[in-house]
Amino acid sequence: MLTTTLLDPILTFLPNTTPQAWLDEAIKPENLPLLLTDHLMCELKAAQTAMLLLRRYAVDKDSSQALLEWLKPFEDFAYRKVGDGDLSTKITLSKKLISRSNFEHGDELIAKMVLLIKEELHHFGQVLEIMQSRNIPYDNIPASRYARSLMQHVRTHEPAKLTDTLICGAFIEARSCERFAAIAPNLDEELNKFYVSLLRSEARHFSDYLGLAQLVSKEDITERVAYFRAIEGQLIVTDDPDFRFHSGVPIQLAVA
């Protein structure tokens, strides 16, 4: 089955599967607006992370500016509520990005990250369309601890910083993919189809990040992957006060 082939490498890579307590919370109809809003923001953040990597490491000055302009309408909508969110004509970057001469793996990074940004922006539009069709108003909500806590462990010197950031990217994409697959069968038909449709691209994002991490690292990354795997596993199985797409075990708040 397609889903099994896509998911096998993801499940092998991740330290654990989503706890039942998170799933129980995720399928409650009253949590759907929160889940979709967080998902929407995750798509934008995924695009921003890739853009940051390109601007920090790979592209020249003009290309860096073109990247900022590419994401600006999406950020304007998400953070400043500018426009109605119909950004379907803006998901493609018209300018060809030029790699910096002093970064060895610029072309590989550009090729993979530009495709990733385009796909994340497309997903952003898809989530927003679903929200709008269900009259779920968009309001910016703060992220959970997940990505921030992973990134806290990124080393600060290069090229280790880049390697670790790419490994974190692989975990975030892999966990998204695992969670999409886990909740899909528990949702209504439209959402079920939508989440299954996302699996292929998220699985590729995972393997692209992991491949790039090994490419830019001078050393074998196995140990570093294991280090982040342990941290990621803890973020998933420990109590988490904020319920979001990548959160840990939901804390049941006592009813007064």
Q: How far is the CB of 124 from Fe ion (least distance, A)?
A: 8
Alpha carbon distance 89, 198 (integer Å): 20
Site membership for Fe ion, residue 164 (CB under 5 A): no
DSSP helix/strand/coil, 246? coil
Q: Does 123 bind Fe ion (CB under 5 A)?
A: yes
Minimum Å gap between C-beta 204 and Fe ion is 8
Instruction: Please tell me whether residue 224 binds Fe ion under the rule CB under 5 A.
Output: no
Considering the complex, what minimum distance in angstroms separates the CB of residue 120 from Fe ion? 5
> Is the Cβ of residue 120 or residue 164 nearer to Fe ion in the bound state?
120
Output the smallest distance, CB 203 to Fe ion, in A: 9
Contact between 187 and 195 under an 8 Å Cβ cutoff? The reply is yes
In terms of CB distance, is 46 or 110 closer to Fe ion?
46
d(CA 73, CA 205): 23
CB of 202 to Fe ion, least distance (A): 5
Tokens representing residue 214 in the block: 């090994």
Q: Which of 120, 178, 232, 240 binds Fe ion (CB under 5 A)?
A: 120
The residue assigned the tokens 């280090």 is: 227
Q: How far apart are CA 83 and CA 162, in angstroms?
A: 35
- 49 vs 40: CA distance, rounded Å: 15
CB-based contact 134:81 (threshold 8 Å): no
Q: Which is nearer to Fe ion, 100 or 204 (CB)?
A: 204
Q: Which of residues 201-220 bind Fe ion (CB under 5 A)?
A: 202, 205
How wide is the angle at C-alpha 218 spanned by C-alphas 216 and 224, nearest 5°? 85
Binding mask 30-59 vs Fe ion (x if CB under 5 A, - otherwise)?
Answer: -------------x--x-------------
The footprint of Fe ion (CB under 5 A) covers: 43, 46, 120, 123, 173, 202, 205
